[in-house]
Structure 1
């Protein structure tokens, strides 16, 4: 989710709670060895033990098609001691695919194997190398070949987005196809795609056979979703004050954006997140309507603070405490 789910938003989503691990937006590898500052700029969590401030581990993700260059960059990245390194074979963006990156590589299982094998060999054994793929590029004909190639190359885990590149993000997601991949390889498999609610998550688990899920747009649209799913798994009541949990996150996110983003684009960044939140929170729709035409940071912030409730819960420990309290 390049351009939206960067380290600024990762901090907020992980602080709400329920997230076991995060993956960074992709770092494009072409034909050169990147300096360390590029990795720490995109994944500043590397300067904090590879974790967000709430303690969630973050795996940097690399995207490219040159095995040797990816291996060299993975080796340099490993010097920063990340909690893992992820490889992107799932991005459907045309601008990425045109330059032989992302999901277009799913037509070349042999190349997938070479990339994973080279990166695995370049990275210390204690750092896991995982991969993300879709069901295929234009179709799913080579789906199992790709999964087997990634396993043979040494991937420790595989996330599968349950659509092809051609299918993009158009519903539905074909979670049952992930079950065929699970049967074909011994790797831990994580299901991904079109998970917006706890009910979606339970259906994805049932159809794919996967217990672990990766949430992307669903977690951006409803940051309480991971916490609600965890509550379900623990047999607890779901959080009942969702918007009250999110109000401090919006204010905190605004503060982060002001500190790191140029004034011209600050309001747009928060509106972008609100656009997703509108899908699951009526309060977000009302807030978006109130601030939609505002651009000047001072005016925007005044309207934002006036519209948001002031809620005390802000971090992982506090929200998980609230989760337990709502079950009694």
Structure 2
């Protein structure tokens, strides 16, 4: 039975645990139903040896969206609009706070999130239409807030590249969050936009330990590749932030200073962090992952986390949901601030300009007289 998931009498697990050989190279250990599903499946040990299960393959389904820019009014984040060319993420990061979003399409936040993906092939066309609207007013668009815009399927689909081409043509500011060195493919566009103060990139470096990275984010690039991406983007004049996100108590929190030092040496100009967030189904998913990979640490990790979340596993309150509160959260905050100061990270963040925004003339537009 998968510890961390609710069980019925007799030991049946509602977590829909998937055999290890079938999920090799994946992050989640189970595929529980989403919170909106009426039906529940149960797995149990009947005493017979399990038959070999075929490996899980990645499926990509086109999604015909009506709009591509998503708005938000959250007071504790720095952007009010974002674009996600994909739904779901093949990187398979077990801790990803976006996993519960898969429940909105009737799929599991577990293995479905990393194997049953959706692409938005009209992303660039929709963006051009929305930016061209007469009432549109520019502010920085965040690219990759829910799923990584440079996850493996971007190599073939190239939707992120197409979105960047539109933003560059409109001279529209953008902030990108990724943990993939595939972003270097688009260094030409990014360097051009950086010269106009239109772009900032945040690279997530969760750990420098390749074994830990392989376990908790199995299809994301090696930490060394991410540091190389920071270096090469910085050399091209692109401002880069390093994100130590998430900070996981008793798992990677001891690496904060080392990650910041390595990123600063590679050229990072800013640094940020997020304390592990476990909304909705993520509590059980991460708990089950710990039971398999680090069973001796599970109780300690969740104890520290609940101490930083007001006695709960997760607290969604604005202002504290990203960094927590209490003694442990205060310790992380002070360590992070001291390390930034020691390494010479600037206090003021790089901000993009909106002053250069323009609507390029479309085919058939009447030319201005003057």
TM surpasses 0.5? no
TM-score by length of 1: 0.41
TM-score by length of 2: 0.37
Larger Rg: 2
Structure whose residues are more often helix by fraction: 1
